[in-house]
Structure 1
């Protein structure tokens, strides 16, 4: 197995520039840490540790904090258990078509309105509560804040933080400091935990994009560590963590109902996101990996693979920037942020209101009556305007006729 991995996966032609071997980048104990692929195995049990820490944090810290900030959950009607409807809901579809409703009417002996109401209440029953969303956002906020603070502290005094050419000087024979090693391992373990929990987390509007982002990030962190792209990799992680802090904090205050605080944080987040993801990331980081790195070595497989993963992340940044700009437009012209277009819309449809059946029928009749009245008023106004216009035209013609 070791020979197969050495011959296929760990070929130095894939990972290292031409003329460099694995022996060339090995470091002595006093020269710093040498990145080794086996170090990545530690991230899997670390991901499980993150999941346990998250479980404890949400119940010991986040839940009392949500109550203190005034997070309120909507009151939802618990539907009666109907075996055939429950089986259809879980195995077929959450929103049955009209033909399927007709079939269910025959099977259950209920009216169409009762079945449609049952499915509406059942969908609302499965939607995550504000408390659950607050706990999830607060956990991510704590990690991103801790990671960004620790990463910035460890990088602020390094030469490559200010001059990106230092990321490639001497590559790949670059020692890795202990702080940067743990920065990498903790970030990779955290993204593994996000990917493992994606099925139980709040399902958002950009669910597929989030999965692509997690997978691309895991591949990028793992590959950059093995190929010793640690210097540029730490800058990539720092850029991403800077705006994620503001996003998660804005979500927390949104669920708590603090609208002004949420709107203020959203404006700051939008500016930071657009600056870091659409200006700094492509203008500094990707330019450094695509152009500046060629001053120090010839292109090889690792060069193309690294830049391909970075471009995938940049494409996701453009997609999220489009959603954020939509929210900015709503904020400027409507005066408030109605919902998080980027990643906090749990489903494709909006929350359905709970209404008694009689009120629902009465409300639909009132809506239809209001529409008819508005059309009648419009028609009457048009008739009055036409009469006045005709009368004026007739009056203007009378002198000529006389």
Structure 2
């Protein structure tokens, strides 16, 4: 049975065009081809990157955070309350006004006390500023070196300047050492992100990030086995180009270099829109949809690879909407959505207390005279 399953999985018509077999991709005459067994190296690479990340965050990011004076905000802990804790974990983290009134009846607390409890409880779930800084620093460093490595691996390749060359001689395209190492470290990095999902900062687009990591690993694995390596390297380079800027802007924002961070974020937005919404769909996806049909009839791998590219493009559109909203808030409003919620007195109460204190002080000074 296992043999039958294996035969189905490695059926040539799933992975290769008609008239091409696995025997055609065996190493010979000095030509080396990509093999599925080489992907096993991705696992130890991912584990090594996790170790490197730990050392980077401890011995580089943490001292840098100390130099820049990045400190975690002191948080007031939420009071012990089993009723509210159960509701927080089982129902919602942000109750409506009706929910607050209902909880007031169950706990005997006033509304303001319940609202403050939920704000403090949500703040307890937020990762510290230093942790976010360390993670962003690590990703920024990796994307920088990956992008530079990708440029060095591709700058002299003809298919960078003429996308029809991507398919010249496909699938009998010899594997280059630079392509192997570039793929290995990129796949190892995304696999390490999957391993670290449980202890990394959980963001609002957590589900989309999981889909992105899995789609990327699936796409890279399939492109490796089917020898779609040339277009795979192009996809990785254009993704890394904007990711450096995003993580760099985060690092500077956490370090309170807000003007520089805002400027880099504007550049990131422009690069993201150009690479993910123009170059990716109208150059690379066009290259994988149209040009191969000039050389061979479509097969399963052709459809599968392009569907995975479309999944990535849908994620690009989703993130483009989020980025556009951030840019809108950045220009037209003073939004603190990424900061911790203030669990002190609301503005009206603070103003009332401030007025009362000022009035009392004025009367005291008058009586003293």
Question: Is 66-75 or 302-311 further displaced after alignment?
Answer: 66-75
Question: 1: distance between equivalents of 2:277 and 2:111?
Answer: 51
Residues 86-127 of structure 1, C-alpha deviation per residue, up to 9 Å, x if partnerless? 455445543456676677667766555434322321211221
Structure 2: where are the runs of 5+ without partners? 354-369
CA contact (8 A) 2:116 2:343 kept: no
* Distance change (3 Å), C-alpha of 1:225 and 1:2: farther
Post-superposition offset of 1:195 = 1.9
Structure 1: where are the runs of 5+ without partners? 340-344, 367-402
Post-superposition offset of 1:324 = 2.2
Question: 1: distance between equivalents of 2:71 and 2:35?
Answer: 48
The aligned runs of 1:292-371 (5 Å cut-off) are 292-333=291-332, 338=335, 351-355=340-344, 362-363=349-350
Question: 2: distance between equivalents of 1:227 and 1:100?
Answer: 55
Equivalent in the alignment of 1:229: 228
Equivalent in the alignment of 1:13: 13
Larger radius of gyration: 1
Question: 2: distance between equivalents of 1:231 and 1:38?
Answer: 19
Which TM-score applies when normalising by structure 1? 0.80
Equivalent in the alignment of 2:245: 246
Post-superposition offset of 1:188 = 0.9
The aligned runs of 1:194-213 (5 Å cut-off) are 194-213=193-212
Question: 2: distance between equivalents of 1:2 and 1:229?
Answer: 28
Verify: 1:22 aligned to 2:22, yes or no: yes
CA contact (8 A) 2:70 2:130 kept: yes
3-state secondary structure, aligned to 1:75: coil
Which TM-score applies when normalising by structure 2? 0.87
Post-superposition offset of 1:315 = 1.5
Post-superposition offset of 1:84 = 5.2
Q: Provide the alpha-carbon RMSD of the alignment.
A: 2.6
Residues 113-161 of structure 1, C-alpha deviation per residue, up to 9 Å, x if partnerless? 4343223212112211221111111110011011111111011111211
CA contact (8 A) 1:72 1:256 kept: no
CA contact (8 A) 1:270 1:324 kept: yes
Equivalent in the alignment of 2:360: none
The aligned runs of 1:252-291 (5 Å cut-off) are 252-291=251-290
CA contact (8 A) 2:15 2:226 kept: yes
Residues 311-348 of structure 1, C-alpha deviation per residue, up to 9 Å, x if partnerless? 111111122222223333344445x8x56xxxxx76xx
CA contact (8 A) 1:70 1:257 kept: no
Post-superposition offset of 1:231 = 0.6
